[in-house]
Amino acid sequence: MTLNEFLNMGGYAFYVWTSYGLALAVLLINVILPLRQRKKLLGDINRAAKRVRRNT
């Protein structure tokens, strides 16, 4: 299979690549979201702890 044939997917390029692209997007989203949330949570907890220490 040449690269061109591969990309063309027998004429079904739009359907196949949209599906795979969508799958990639979903998989990436579900990895990135928890990563960001963890950073945010740790940041929030840190800030809250600092505030408590400052006030006591």
CB of residue 33 vs another protein: minimum separation in angstroms? Answer: 8
**20 in contact with another protein (CB under 8 A):** yes
How far is residue 22's CA from residue 4's CA, in Å, rounded to a whole number? Answer: 21
CB of residue 5 vs another protein: minimum separation in angstroms? Answer: 9
How far is residue 42's CA from residue 48's CA, in Å, rounded to a whole number? Answer: 10
Rounded alpha-carbon distances, angstroms, from residue 37 to 24, 26, 34, 45: 20, 17, 5, 12
**Residues that bind another protein in the complex, under the rule CB under 8 A:** 1, 6, 9-12, 15-16, 18-20, 22-23, 26-27, 29-31, 34-35, 37-38, 41-43, 45-46, 48-49
